[in-house]
């Protein structure tokens, strides 16, 4: 092959000073951990887990509360989609993120940590209708942005479905009260026992510049069941509400709960605590198809609740509860078989889903409703009426506390920019890092810690909390299991691997940088980095 002078490297002084000849060079980067991506409130989970590992619990709380004001609540009631997304689940088991978050939240309550007061006052007034998770979240973030916020709610106490829909054995009321109290200390005004019927009148009468509506889904869906005594049929939302207010509904010794969601599980477990000898769930599909989270069903079964799968209620009378057996067709839909059976029941609790009471919005011009009764909003979470925003259970979305909290945060940012005649642009996200991107030889197999649980026999005696908070040792161990996916945690692997001493340490917390005058592009640092915080990119010479 003839000699080609174009293949000779450029040895000019300018090129030499930019470093050795190399096709690729390493660069440090930050990728998006899947746990962060999976969090509906947008928490920087990886960052606060690191602070827990370093035993900086106050700092961890401060990081969490940039996005979510209620870590002690969420550590108890969130269904932790972050853990479903966690890369570690495919290595041994997911990080028990919600239990560590609960530890941080409880630490903050013990230490009486408080939110920092906003340093500015925008002069704008915002009305929030609904003191549930979405409304409380919006009020928090709007207040931090310098706005004056007033929450109006029909309930006696704030909390919405967190207070009146989630039983105390999952969310103790002293925890709920303590976390909400921080909002009042921050400057949020609460006006309770106040049901809004004319939103435009309240907006204008109070001199509010914008409104966020998040009334929650407090209306139970009904179904017609032939019965001789309609008084023996109650809806789960009303049932749980009465229990939350300290009442003891008369449900008898044998209770049937109709439905397969989380509310059905809560109603059945609550019935056991009220003294029901038998608490039975009737569901028309299979366990694989039920909307309840798997852990909720597991807890119910552990406490003695029975579940009749592929059954539907056809009548309720003196002989008992008449059920029809169902079977799945080729599309997985339940179909009647005509076969009947009768079981004993003194009462039925209907847990067939919930709807929001949104009639008061119907007269407002421009506001539209979906076919399921939810309110239509645009990408700014604003309804068809300028300045009226909506979120939580009343808009199309998954109905969970954490999703509702995320709505409140997003709405607050959009309200803030709308008030200044601009539009909120979410920051661009990094690429998500996957387990296959990591160098797994670095990590040991360590199964997740599990918190202590009361025995099933003890649980059903009262409404005391079932699950214990992690100890400091457990929380630290669990946080240390984090793989720090896609983000440098200063392990010194690149520093030790570089044969040219081209990696420069910048001091604790400041990571490293490359000296490209020394780097040969040998890839040693890239191949040594356990978390894929280094990428090899094409080296384009200037």
Neighbours of 441 (CB within 10 A): 6
pLDDT at position 236 is 94
**Average pLDDT, rounded, for the chain:** 92
Q: Is the pLDDT of residue 285 over 60?
A: yes
CATH topology assigned to domain 221-354: FAD/NAD(P)-binding domain (3.50.50)
Contact 118, 161 (CB under 8 A): no
Contact 533, 487 (CB under 8 A): yes
b/e sequence 234-269, b meaning 16+ C-beta within 10 Å = bbbbbbbbebbeeeebebbebbbbbbbbbbbbbbbb
Taking domain 5-30+488-538, whether its CATH number is 3.30.70.20 is answered by: yes
Q: Is the pLDDT of residue 266 over 50?
A: yes
Q: Are strands 354-355 and 219-220 parallel, antiparallel or unpaired?
A: antiparallel
pLDDT at position 1 is 40
b/e sequence 8-37, b meaning 16+ C-beta within 10 Å = eeeeeeeeeeebbebeebbebbebbbbbbb
pLDDT at position 19 is 64
* Residue in 37, 244, 218, 216 with CA at minimum distance from that of residue 133: 216
* Angle made by CA atoms 279, 280, 285, in degrees to the nearest 5: 155
Start and end residues for every CATH 3.50.50.60 domain found in the chain: 125-218+356-419, 221-354
pLDDT at position 541 is 65
Task: State what percent of residues in the chain have pLDDT above 90.
Answer: 84
Task: State what percent of residues in the chain have pLDDT above 70.
Answer: 96
Q: What is the pLDDT of residues 398-429, one digit of tens each?
A: 889 999 999 999 999 999 999 999 888 888 88
Which DSSP category does 374 fall into? P
pLDDT at position 3 is 37
Q: Is the pLDDT of residue 14 over 60?
A: no
Contact 52, 485 (CB under 8 A): no
Average pLDDT over residues 376-392: 96
Start and end residues for every CATH 3.30.70.20 domain found in the chain: 5-30+488-538
Q: Is the pLDDT of residue 296 over 90?
A: yes
Q: Is the pLDDT of residue 357 over 90?
A: no
Q: What is the pLDDT of residues 130-175, one digit of tens each?
A: 999 999 999 999 999 999 999 999 999 999 999 999 999 999 999 9
* Architecture of the structural domain at 34-113+438-480: Orthogonal Bundle (1.10)
Provide the pLDDT confidence category of residue 228 given band limits of 50, 70 and 90: low
Start and end residues for every CATH 1.10.1060.10 domain found in the chain: 34-113+438-480
* Residue in 533, 491, 483 with CA at minimum distance from that of residue 87: 483
Contact 407, 395 (CB under 8 A): yes
Q: What is the pLDDT of residues 31-81, one digit of tens each?
A: 999 999 999 999 999 999 999 999 999 999 999 999 999 999 999 999 999
Percent helix, strand, coil in the chain, to 5, is: 35, 15, 50
Q: How far is CA 260 from CA 296, 304, 312, 316, 383, in A?
A: 11, 16, 11, 19, 32
pLDDT at position 216 is 83
Q: What is the pLDDT of residues 461-473, one digit of tens each?
A: 999 999 999 999 9
What tokens were used for 368?
């539209």
Distance CA 172, CA 238 (A): 19
Average pLDDT over residues 312-333: 92
pLDDT at position 6 is 41
Contacts of 503 (CB under 8 A, 6+ apart): 494, 495, 512, 513, 514, 515, 525
What tokens were used for 462?
């009262």
pLDDT at position 326 is 95
* Residue in 349, 351, 309 with CA at minimum distance from that of residue 326: 309
Burial of 110 (0-12, 13-18, 19+ CB in 10 A): exposed
pLDDT at position 424 is 85
Q: Is the pLDDT of residue 542 over 50?
A: no
Rg (CA), the chain: 28
Q: What is the pLDDT of residues 432-460, one digit of tens each?
A: 999 999 999 898 888 888 899 999 999 99
Q: Which CATH superfamily is domain 125-218+356-419 in?
A: FAD/NAD(P)-binding domain (3.50.50.60)
Q: How far is CA 423 from CA 129, 246, 426, in A?
A: 23, 45, 10
Neighbours of 313 (CB within 10 A): 23
Q: Is the pLDDT of residue 10 over 60?
A: no
């Amino acid at each position: 092959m003839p000699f080609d002078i174009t293949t000779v490297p450029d040895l000019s002084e300018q090129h030499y000073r930019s470093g050795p000849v190399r096709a690729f060079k390493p660069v440090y980067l930050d990728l998006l951990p899947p746990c962060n991506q999976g969090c509906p409130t947008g928490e920087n989970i990886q960052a606060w887990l690191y602070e827990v590992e370093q035993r900086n619990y106050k700092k961890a709380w401060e990081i969490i509360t940039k996005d979510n004001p209620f870590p002690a609540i969420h550590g108890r009631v969130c269904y932790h989609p972050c853990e479903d997304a966690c890369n570690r689940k495919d290595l041994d088991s997911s990080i028990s993120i919600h239990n560590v978050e609960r530890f941080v939240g409880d630490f903050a309550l013990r230490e009486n940590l408080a939110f920092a007061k906003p340093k500015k006052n925008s002069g704008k007034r915002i009305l929030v209708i609904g003191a549930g998770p979405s409304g409380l979240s919006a009020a928090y973030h709007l207040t931090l942005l310098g706005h004056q916020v007033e929450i109006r709610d029909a309930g006696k106490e704030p909390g919405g479905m967190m207070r009146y829909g989630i039983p105390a054995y999952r969310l103790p009321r002293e925890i709920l009260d303590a976390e909400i109290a921080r909002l009042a200390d921050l400057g949020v005004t609460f006006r309770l026992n106040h049901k809004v019927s004319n939103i435009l009148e309240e907006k204008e009468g109070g001199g509010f510049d914008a409104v966020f509506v998040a009334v929650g889904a407090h209306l139970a869906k009904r179904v017609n069941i032939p019965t001789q005594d309609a008084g023996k049929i109650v809806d789960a939302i009303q049932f749980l509400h009465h229990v939350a207010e300290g009442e003891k509904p008369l449900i008898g010794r044998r209770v049937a709960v109709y439905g397969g969601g989380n509310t059905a599980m809560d109603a059945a477990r609550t019935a056991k605590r009220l003294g029901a000898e038998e608490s039975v769930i009737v569901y028309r599909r299979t366990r694989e198809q039920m909307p309840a989270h798997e852990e909720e069903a597991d807890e119910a079964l552990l406490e003695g609740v029975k579940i009749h799968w592929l059954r539907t209620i056809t009548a309720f009378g003196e002989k008992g509860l008449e059920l029809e057996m169902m079977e799945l067709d080729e599309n997985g839909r339940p179909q009647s078989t005509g076969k009947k059976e009768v079981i004993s029941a003194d009462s039925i609790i209907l847990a067939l889903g919930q709807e929001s009471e949104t009639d008061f919005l119907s007269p407002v011009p421009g506001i539209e409703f979906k076919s399921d009764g939810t309110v239509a909003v645009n990408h700014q979470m604003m309804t068809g009426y300028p300045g009226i925003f909506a979120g939580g259970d009343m808009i199309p979305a998954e109905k969970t506390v954490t999703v509702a909290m995320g709505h409140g945060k997003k709405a607050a940012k959009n309200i803030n920019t709308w008030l200044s005649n601009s539009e909120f642009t979410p920051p661009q996200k990094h690429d998500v890092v996957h387990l296959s991107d990591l160098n797994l030889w670095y990590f040991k197999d360590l199964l997740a810690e599990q918190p202590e649980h009361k025995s099933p026999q003890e649980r059903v005696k009262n409404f005391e909390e079932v699950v214990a908070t992690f100890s400091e040792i457990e929380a630290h161990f669990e946080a240390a299991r984090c793989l720090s996916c896609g983000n440098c945690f200063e392990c010194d692997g690149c520093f030790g691997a570089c044969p040219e001493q081209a990696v420069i340490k910048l001091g604790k917390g400041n990571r490293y940088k490359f000296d490209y005058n020394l780097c040969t592009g040998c890839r040693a640092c890239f191949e040594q980095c356990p978390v894929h915080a280094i990428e090899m990119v094409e080296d384009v010479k200037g």
